[in-house]
Structure 1
């Protein structure tokens, strides 16, 4: 009977927001609005940085890479959510589910390490300004971005292969996309080993980058407090504020989602957390950097001024 079940499961169906059936149109409008704003904001950031020579610095190079990664990250998940909200949830094949999980993990981890690279950039700029141009040269920046992507690809491959080598007996996913834990719950066999592997990987890709950023900011704060000029201290804090805001929200959501005990929250609570880091958090990046970053706002004003003239 088990063998038969293993061979018959060829696709999954997301239960997702089925418990909010009467609110699906409202959810569709809300998610579509957030998605459009996210795409517009991130594309705007990439465009401004590429066109304005004043922003051709390592800090904004990393920001443009983060915005591009966030755009792809939402593209992997949100269109399928919107499609399912329009009517009965459409099945997704095993290959489609594995593909979605692979790109989701790759891009999520890539974002974590890009934020770490941005933290390192701020550390060098404030704590070692005289050697900044030498340390953060173009080659180093490209290597950091490529390293973040490679780590994401390797971890995603390990995770996807370990999950989809297991047999599945259940077709209904109690989630709205192919995340690791909800998919593992569909397996016919004991998944303890795979859950431990997932937890270890989560600790490494969340706590290690977060720890490196934390150490960077401790050193940054010590350096700023030693500055004689109040204006210099204010400017240094301002250059870090946007990045620090994004870091706190990003790693906060990731920690709650992947480092908490699996039975701590109900299904609806888990989905609310997932909505936060898949739909809302990607919008935070353009909002923070467009509204709170002085240089990006000035570049935007220059671009608008040129267009009007």
Structure 2
């Protein structure tokens, strides 16, 4: 069989309409700035305020860092393509983007599970929380997320990297597995099944940890007699549940559906939902729903613009 060596791919992007590309560029640019600002704000608040030096905010800080890295793997390149019309991406650049995308995506789900486990320990085992969730143990958990994410992705991507490719056109706005496999010269049925099994094991497997944690939390909270305490307990984890629902619904719909064929408009919409909307909402949901983070923001603003005597710094300078 005659095979053509592909040295670069051409991503068709979200649309071929130039006017829509301009609109999408403006939307994505603003969304990317909001994602960066929101997550940087969460990292800053949890670092500056010593009252937030607890495991819950340590995991939240690392989760924000993972989100920044995740969106940076494809949004800048997509913005550049929308602005200049440059669609090509090198073979090595495509595989690098693909690798980082899935490593960081899996790491995101692991951090979601860590935060749910932390919430479970804090609410269901408060007497043992400080002893069990030590700083060293939390650091090992975070490092373990990165290491396990890498090894889960390494083997499937190594197989894909060795495939011969005959066509260079990727009908997507970033290098995803399903549209990439369609460009191969060989039968990829076995690889697609392996990827589906891997997705089934990863997503529902990690989700089961989160589901068990919150099921037990709900059971404990419903037995609290004080209605005020029940409301406070539920509000503590409500933001987390919103993010969990958004992340898992979009990712399961995309990667554990009945058909894993890439290049459809529906796949692009779901990928856009997962890659942009959930990443944009999560830092602001955590900030708006968390009383301690909001208080940290108020204290930080007060320290920046108000002096210790309660007088605005700009006013004090003029005097």
Same fold (TM over 0.5): yes
Q: From 118, 121, 131, give the equivalent of 2:115.
A: 118
Give the match's secondary structure for 1:218: helix
**Quick check: 214-223 or 265-274, which moved more?**
265-274
1:307 aligns with 2:316: no
**How far is the alpha carbon of 1:18 from its aligned partner?**
3.4
Equivalent pair of 1:103/1:156 in contact (CA under 8 Å): no
User: What is the CA–CA distance in structure 1 between the aligned matches of 2:7 and 2:123, rounded to whole Å?
Assistant: 54
Equivalent pair of 1:14/1:89 in contact (CA under 8 Å): no
Number of equivalenced pairs: 306
**How far is the alpha carbon of 1:196 from its aligned partner?**
0.7
User: What is the CA–CA distance in structure 2 between the aligned matches of 1:28 and 1:101, rounded to whole Å?
Assistant: 22
Equivalent pair of 2:178/2:260 in contact (CA under 8 Å): no
User: What is the CA–CA distance in structure 2 between the aligned matches of 1:90 and 1:14, rounded to whole Å?
Assistant: 5
TM-score normalised per structure 1 = 0.96
**How far is the alpha carbon of 1:22 from its aligned partner?**
2.9
User: What is the CA–CA distance in structure 2 between the aligned matches of 1:289 and 1:198, rounded to whole Å?
Assistant: 32
For residue 29 of structure 1, what is the aligned residue in structure 2?
26
Equivalent pair of 1:15/1:89 in contact (CA under 8 Å): no
Q: From 143, 147, 150, give the equivalent of 1:146.
A: 143
1:152-207 deviations in Å (ceiling 9; x for gaps) = 11122122211111100010101011111111111011101100111111112211
For residue 181 of structure 1, what is the aligned residue in structure 2?
178
For residue 170 of structure 1, what is the aligned residue in structure 2?
167
Q: From 246, 251, 254, give the equivalent of 2:248.
A: 251
For residue 238 of structure 1, what is the aligned residue in structure 2?
235
Equivalent pair of 2:172/2:179 in contact (CA under 8 Å): yes
Structure 1 residue runs of 5 or longer lacking an equivalent are none
Q: From 31, 36, 41, give the equivalent of 2:38.
A: 41
Structure number, greater radius of gyration: 2
1:75-124 deviations in Å (ceiling 9; x for gaps) = 10100110110132331111111111111111000000000000000111
1:2 aligns with 2:2: yes
**How far is the alpha carbon of 1:21 from its aligned partner?**
3.4
For residue 315 of structure 2, what is the aligned residue in structure 1?
none
Which structure 2 residues correspond to residues 1-309 of structure 1 after superposition, within 5 A?
Answer: 1-3=1-3, 5=4, 8-262=5-259, 267-309=264-306
Give the match's secondary structure for 1:29: helix
**How far is the alpha carbon of 1:266 from its aligned partner?**
7.3
Give the match's secondary structure for 1:302: helix
Give the match's secondary structure for 1:228: coil
1:23-49 deviations in Å (ceiling 9; x for gaps) = 100000000000000000000100110
Q: Which has the higher helix share?
A: 1
**How far is the alpha carbon of 1:277 from its aligned partner?**
1.1
Q: CA RMSD in A?
A: 1.4
